[in-house]
Amino acid sequence: MTEALYCFRCGDPFTTIDGCLYCSRGDMGLSPLLTELLVAAAAVATRGETLKPVENSSFRCVRCRTFMRQMDKIGLIFQCPDCSMHYSKQITYNMVERHGHAKWLEPGQSALCSVIVIRERDAKLIPERLAERIQHTLKIPGHKAWQLTEELQKVGQVVLFTGHPQDAVLVASGLMTEGIRVELVET
């Protein structure tokens, strides 16, 4: 490994311990397999054609630290908008399922963040789709998702989540739908 590689979670430079990549901020050591996959992917300038992104991601590019773009609907393929590096399904699976990263706060960042969903006046809101998205993202029962959806329709905004800022970003990105504005508010 000649070029520096960066953590796909926090963007800090990886160090190498026993031939494997390690993120000291997240106290996360990578397996030999994931180390090999990321080093090989970073060595390739671009793979295949550039697809239309489905949504933004919380993963960072290990080559340039830019936030990756999700390129498929189920969240297994990612591409860097700056350097075109790709995360394959195999890379993504190994990052998510086998490599936990400790949560961290940026300097001056609040320890809690709320996700507020605001209904746009002119938006054509499909309640079923919103309730489904809320249920899936927050992993709550359907009746709770419907209560939140009804409150949003009546009041125009609802606090859906309060917790660690990194979790709030994940919740917000999972809730972005047409006609719905999501705001993150430090609390």
Residues 169 and 122 in one domain: yes
Nearest CA-CA partner of 127 in 155, 150, 94, 100? 150
- Establish if 105 belongs to a structural domain: no
Instruction: Please say whether the beta carbons of 35 and 98 come within 8 A.
Output: no
* H or E segment and range at residue 183: strand 180-186
Q: How far apart are CA 35 and CA 51, in angstroms?
A: 25
Greater model confidence, 174 or 161: 161
Instruction: Please say whether the beta carbons of 76 and 93 come within 8 A.
Output: yes
Q: What is the mean pLDDT of residues 37-54?
A: 73
pLDDT bin (cut points 50, 70, 90) of residue 51 is: low
Instruction: Please say whether the beta carbons of 58 and 166 come within 8 A.
Output: yes
- Establish if 165 belongs to a structural domain: yes
Domain that holds residue 168: 113-186
Residues 79 and 136 in one domain: no
Is residue 119 predicted with pLDDT exceeding 60? yes
Structure confidence at residue 58 (pLDDT): 78
pLDDT in tens, 123-161: 666 888 888 888 888 888 999 999 998 998 888 889 988
pLDDT in tens, 89-115: 899 888 887 777 766 666 676 778 888
Is residue 39 predicted with pLDDT exceeding 90? yes
Q: What is the mean pLDDT of residues 1-12?
A: 83
Q: How many CB atoms lie within 10 A of CB 41?
A: 19
Is residue 17 predicted with pLDDT exceeding 60? yes
- Establish if 104 belongs to a structural domain: no
Q: What is the mean pLDDT of residues 59-66?
A: 91
> Phi and psi at residue 165, in whole multiples of 5°?
-55, -35
Residues 162 and 93 in one domain: no
Upper half-sphere CA count for residue 57 (Cβ side, 13 Å) = 29
Residue where a domain terminates, one of 98, 130, 156: 98
- Establish if 64 belongs to a structural domain: yes
